Amino acid sequence: MKAIMELKNVKTYFRVSKGLFRSLIIKALDGVSLTVNLGETISIVGESGCGKTTLGRTSLKLERPESGQIIFDGQEITKMKDTRTFRRKAQMIFQDPFTSLNPNMTIRQIIEEPMLIHNISKKEREERIKKALADVRLLPPEEFLPKYPHMLSGGQRQRVGIARSLVLDPIFIVADEPVSMIDASSRAEILSLIREIQKKYSVGVLYITHDIATAKYFSDRIAVMYAGKIVEHGETQLVLKNPLHPYTMALMDAVPDPDPQNRFKFRKVVPGEPPSPISPPPGCRFHPRCPHVAETCKTNEPELRNISGREVACHFAEIFVK
């Protein structure tokens, strides 16, 4: 497998000013390493504020990292100035299909625009538009091309967003919560479509989501993030079958499956809320909420270690191996 996107110990900080001389540092990404290979989908799962969106944006050079390396297709791009090829080969699918499409442009204009920027000939543009619409199954193309976004349903709009990301033949796509604004009954359709395209064109996809259940069905590998760090990372089936980090377990316990018996029992929950990324707790960042906390967790920060086929950052991960 060929690595298409490699992040090496990437840190992305934001500064918020507090008065004239003081500023606070928000450590949105605090030392993350991750590799996305061609032809696979990696899901990044976590709650709001854990840094999953910053991870996606940093990998696309939409945020400048404080330190660390971003390697795209074998070439380091962290400080590269000429990003023309990179911008063509790395694309994004946005969360909100209602605000990420210009309401004054027709579907044709929306899909054509990236190709105009990258000087693609008229004849080729026409071919690529047709192909992209066929890939996202907006058929027949003639019916959709003259329409405006408001004439389409949420699911159709998101498919336009996907078509737009496809016309430049990308090899790496970041999909940031692509279905969170879409009705439950259409979610699987959009996710299956992204999965299909990923396989067909052998693209590397970073699927960012808060929904661990969709990650289960639509990704090859999963990385669980908490407070700016990856706490567990490995093959999706393996991790979800036997999670080794208490946070992964908590995340799974919190999600119900439809079962009428649910209402007769209380759900297993961890107390408290995720920490502020300005001053994360010392030691393991999950320790104030962890049901298995021990003394060492309060002072020693656990590193990612290889345990039973995946990486996990917990001092006691071994005891959870089934």
Binding site for other proteins (CB under 8 A): 47-48, 153-156, 183-189, 192, 210-214, 216-217, 240, 250-260, 262-263, 266-271, 273-274
What is the smallest separation between the CB atom of 321 and other proteins, expressed in angstroms? 20
Cα(186)–Cα(191) distance, rounded to whole angstroms?
Answer: 9
Look at residues 221, 97, 243 and name the one whose alpha carbon lies nearest to residue 162.
97
Nearer to other proteins, 90 or 240 (CB): 240
Q: Whole-number minimum distance, CB 293 to other proteins, in Å?
A: 16
* DSSP string over 74-130: TEE-TT-S--HHHHHHEEEE-S-TTTSS-TTS-HHHHHHHHHHHTT--HHHHHHHHH
Smaller CB separation from other proteins, 91 or 158: 158
Min. distance of Cβ 269 from other proteins in angstroms?
Answer: 5
Given the complex with other proteins, which of 42 and 191 has the nearer CB atom?
191
Q: Which is nearer to other proteins, 36 or 182 (CB)?
A: 182
Is 120 or 193 the residue whose CB approaches other proteins more closely?
Answer: 193
Strand 3-18 and strand 22-37: pairing? antiparallel
CB of residue 150 to other proteins, shortest distance in Å: 11
Q: Which is nearer to other proteins, 210 or 305 (CB)?
A: 210
Q: How far apart are CA 84 and CA 241, in angstroms?
A: 42
* 39 vs 243 by CB, closer to other proteins: 243
Nearest distance in Å: CB 60, other proteins: 24
| DSSP E strand stretches across the chain | 3-18, 22-37, 41-45, 67-72, 75-76, 90-93, 172-176, 204-209, 221-226, 229-235, 305-307, 310-312
CA neighbor of 224 nearest in space, from 316, 314, 291, 294: 314
DSSP letter at 163 equals H
176: three-class secondary structure by DSSP: strand
Give the C-alpha separation, 271 to 66, whole Å.
32
Q: Nearest distance from residue 243's CB to other proteins, in Å?
A: 11
Q: 148, 102 in Cβ contact below 8 A?
A: no
Closest contact distance (angstroms) between CB of 295 and other proteins is 24
| 301 contacts 283 by C-beta, under 8 angstroms | yes
